[in-house]
Chain A
Amino acid sequence: MSREEQPEEVIPTVCASHCGGNCLLRLHVKDGVILRIESDDDGKPPFRACLRGRAYRQRVYHPDRLKFPLKRVGAKGEGKFERMSWDEAYDAAAKEIKRIYESYGPESVMMLVSAGDITALHGSMGFYALLNLLGGYSHCWGTFSFEGGLFAEYTTYGTTYTRNTRDDLLHSRLVLMWGWNPAETILDTPTTWVLGRAKEAGVKLICIDPRFTNTAAVLADEWVPIRPGTDAAMLIAMAYVMINENLQDQAFLDKYTVGFERYKEYVLGAEDGVAKTPAWAESISGVPASTIARLARAYATEKPAALIAGISPGRTAYGEQYHRAAIALAAMTGNVGIHGGDAAGRSYAALGSFPFLQVWMSMIDRQVPNPLLMNLPHRKYAPEAYYRDPLWGYGTAPGHVNRFEAADAILKGKAGGYPADYKMLLMVNTNLVNQYGNTNKWVEALRSLDFVLILEQLMTPTAKFADIILPTNTFMERNDMTFGEGIPMYGFQNKAIEPIGESKSHLEIVSELAKRLGINDFNKTEDEILRAGAANTPIPNFEEFKKKGIHLLNLPEPYVAFKDEIQDPEKKPFPTPSGKIEIFSQEIADWNHPKIPPIPKYLETWESRNDPLAKKYPLQLTTSHFWRRAHSTFDNVPWLRELGPQHVLISTVDAETRGINDGDQVMAFNDRGKTMVIAEVTEGIMPGVVDIPEGAWYDPDENGVDRGGCCNVLTKDARSPGGAFCTSTTLVEIKKV
């Protein structure tokens, strides 16, 4: 048939590229090639793709896609590889895995994963199952995105399903967008659309953020700049104003919470002699006392009001205190469990409509929990509620090593007090050299391992350190399912084209690798697994779902978290030890940890502007999410790169004192590393704060200076006592070069 006779097909799929969004893409395919992409024309609300989804064609057909299995021939990190056949690759990987399990035991095997695509089937899940069947592995706990938020939700509410569906914001009178930037970071596809409509309907929106983000600029009525790591202080001072002016919803507090009196003692200063007044918070946060008082009054009186606690401020030292303080304030204003309010959880999961577990459980014939999980020393100070959560409880809470300390664990092993000596690292969809704290330490850690195996789509800075690379395909080359975190929807990713080169899906790879390792439990097809997974959801018709791409659940009204708990607390108590919202947590008190207080407290971070180190490195660094990437994904897509360089945002005053002009090449540095970026000089950032968005690809020169603008050469591989990842607790200096 000639080209003209081949009809152009339009295949629906859903882009779920680790931004928390789910966007309809309609791929125009002809002769097996994606020619162009459309999105959602008429959906209400529209599940329209952002620039990332619209540029995906350049990602699928990127010249640097990994097309064959590769084995390392140069030094680790050098990036010299040789092509292998899949047979050779499977055999070589299986041989090394066997050798390490036999010689050093399962505890010497570490697995670190990320998402890339937030999908149900193709990803890390099968590999967890495989390693469990091989005898287990050393599990790392802690999620970068919102571990501080998880901690706060579990200890305060006893669950992580704390969010309303986005459309409920249309019922709010006031929305406090705290460190929350959906206009650039998505976090549920129509969120920005909904916020825009809320604004047009007269809802007042206020943005609290060190940066004048596009969310602040376009959606907010007011921008309140704040210093990083001080959000808890401002929230606690808002509590002070409410208590001092008797604005708190005392009836709500009496009925639904425990520990308010203890909190009040701390807030008023009875506990430590320091009244947490707006003036106290101003000196810490840089937010004028009058603004703090005004916002406190507004939040307490303009009901219903939604405090959306973004997860970014939680990525600081003691970030869990920020999240706990936000929840306490939502309870004090009685905005929990009502339309137009918000529980001020981590602004993430709402319905718990995950097909994840169903799909995962139906993937293989036999599921074995990690035999090592409880037998090796594991996480201390984990709230009991972690263990009950259907998704996060599955092996996450009692991990052996904290994910942010994994490089240190690899380098030091038992001698450094870690539970094992580590020999092998299996990585699935993770660019950890780039994305974990302290890049230079990771470089060392990866070089020290016996065997590094990675599944990747592109030659990332991390893949360069692998011994064997197994090339995976993208969501356009296989079938999978997605789901909305806070939007009641499911997505179907239809395979639109054949895999690029010899790349394969995660299911194909794990099934075949398992066979070579003597594990014969991966026998189901992609189609069988997805049908079985979908059968456990409210999707009525699988074929129709595939054809539409998106199945939106029709809820009679917006979903509101804790509505039942508020309407009938006798019948439905909160899933906490007390059955109430725990402003004071006895569970935490019992740990007796000085830096994990049982009530929310402001604890000054390390590397704050008052740290002696600030004399040498006076600027506080934040590592925001960038509008033209999803983490490190999309960084190499030309249509997105041309929209603007990797930058450091620096305030006009800080730039002037350093002789820096807009567009200058500058170096950001501290004792951990050096990185080169382009200065973007702006009035739209708190003086004393600079921002280097995360995700730019690490590209070291011969002197170890990163030329790629990777912020994590500067960040610390530390975690907060409650688990929060601390990338935005980092001091740096910037100079013109």
Chain B
Amino acid sequence: MQTVFYFDQTRCIGCSTCAVACKDWHDIPAGPVHWIRVSKIERGKFPRVFRTFLVSPCYHCANPVCALVCPADAITKRKEDGIVVVDREACLGSSCGLCLEECPYRSPQFGPENDATLQKCDFCLERWLEGKKPVCVMACPVEALDAGDLEELKQKYADLKEEATGFISPVKTKPSIVFRSKPWGG
């Protein structure tokens, strides 16, 4: 089974409530560590301006290249749900950083401390195991985010896309996210 994120790019208002809720839930201080980020994409010339947003958690790739390159086997993809988890005890620390180099989304996060160990979005595993969706999903004031089994999401939302504006979708990692995308001019 593969759990995936769903992001409706036409709904997202760029408020970053997901990112703040994530920091609160996982008790992450203000600073360089962001398990989920919201970025703004702006194009065009006045007065024809286009703006949209993209969320970047960890996409829990079907083919997690971070795990493949980790020399300490600190990153594992769970068989039962596809969630990519980290063993921080095993991680060699930010001086290694191979996972971060390899990840096209810069999802692996290291704190500001010396030799900080890897942390990242864990799909709110603790909540997931209790049958709850990730806190970012439940925080979104406009319901632009969802998460679940890919097949279920396909039932729930029509016309799912693997691409969205501003999203790099490298074939080799197969990120576990599907979109309703907002094309430029759309």
Contacts and interface: CB of A to CB of B under 8 A. Distances in A.
B49 A642 contact: no
Contact of B24 (A36, A46, A217, A218): A36
Contacts of B139: 39, 48-49, 54
Interface in B131-182: 135, 138-143
A217 B165 CA distance: 14
A184 interface: yes
A193 interface: yes
A37 B49 CA distance: 36
Interface stretch (A117-125, A245-253, A507-515, A679-687): A679-687
A57 B15 contact: no
Interface string A213-251: 011011100011100000000000000000000000000
Given A196-B11, A196-B142, A214-B51, A652 B46 contact: yes
Interface string A391-407: 00000000000000000
B49 A217 contact: yes
A239 B24 CA distance: 50
Contacts of B16: 51, 628, 643
Nearest to A212: B49
B42 A682 contact: yes
A46 B141 contact: yes
A192 interface: yes
A46 B143 contact: yes
Interface in A51-70: 51, 54-55, 57-58
B94 interface: no
B11 A225 contact: no
A627 B15 contact: yes
B17 interface: yes
Interface in B18-73: 19-21, 23-25, 27, 29-31, 42, 44-47, 49-52
Interface residues of A, number: 47
Interface in A624-660: 627-628, 638-643, 651-653
A652 B44 CA distance: 12
B42 A683 contact: yes
Nearest to A215: B13
B93 interface: no
A218 B11 CA distance: 7
A372 interface: no
A50 interface: yes
B14 interface: yes
B45 A638 contact: no
Contact of A51 (B12, B17, B44): B17
Contacts of A215: 13
B42 to A, nearest CB: 7
**Could you say which of B15, B140, B141, B142 has the most chain A C-beta atoms within 10 Å of its C-beta?**
B141
Contacts of A102: none
B47 A225 contact: yes
Nearest to B9: A218
Contacts of A223: 47, 49
Contact of A193 (B12, B23, B31, B142): B142
A41 interface: yes
Contacts of A641: 30
A38 B142 contact: no
B125 to A, nearest CB: 15
Contacts of A628: 16
A682 B52 CA distance: 14
B29 to A, nearest CB: 7
Contacts of B31: 642
Given A36-B25, A223-B47, A638 B30 contact: yes
A713 to B, nearest CB: 27
Given A54-B17, A192-B142, A218-B13, A687 B46 contact: yes
**Could you say which of B23, B27, B29, B50 has the most chain A C-beta atoms within 10 Å of its C-beta?**
B23
Contact of B51 (A38, A55, A684, A686): A684
B36 to A, nearest CB: 12
A207 to B, nearest CB: 11
A502 to B, nearest CB: 26
A523 B92 CA distance: 63
A183 interface: yes
B14 A214 contact: yes
A105 to B, nearest CB: 49
A639 B23 contact: yes
Given A46-B141, A51-B20, A684-B49, A184 B15 contact: yes
**Could you say which of A212, A639, A641 has the most chain B C-beta atoms within 10 Å of its C-beta?**
A639
Given A54-B139, A684-B42, A36 B52 contact: no
A215 B51 CA distance: 11
B20 A54 contact: yes
Contact of B15 (A36, A46, A58, A183): A183
B67 to A, nearest CB: 28
Contacts of B50: 217
A102 to B, nearest CB: 50
Nearest to A193: B142
Contacts of A214: 13-15, 51
Contacts of B49: 212, 217, 223, 682-684
Contacts of B140: 48
B161 to A, nearest CB: 17
A331 B139 CA distance: 40
A627 B140 CA distance: 15
Given A36-B25, A51-B20, A192-B13, A642 B141 contact: no
Contacts of B11: 196, 218
Interface in A489-513: none
Nearest to B17: A51
A639 B29 CA distance: 7
Contacts of B21: 37, 39, 51, 54
Contact of B30 (A38, A49, A642): A642
Contact of A225 (B25, B46, B135): B46
A214 B135 CA distance: 23
Contacts of A36: 24-25, 27
Interface string A563-602: 0000000000000000000000000000000000000000
B164 to A, nearest CB: 14
Interface string B88-131: 00000000000000000000000000000000000000000000
16 contacts: A51-B21, A54-B20, A54-B24, A192-B142, A196-B142, A218-B52, A223-B49, A225-B46, A225-B47, A639-B30, A643-B19, A651-B46, A682-B49, A683-B44, A684-B51, A687-B46
Given A48-B141, A218-B13, A641-B30, 7 more contacts: A50-B141, A54-B17, A184-B13, A193-B141, A218-B11, A642-B31, A683-B45
Closest 3 CB pairs of A and B: A638-B30, A217-B51, A183-B13
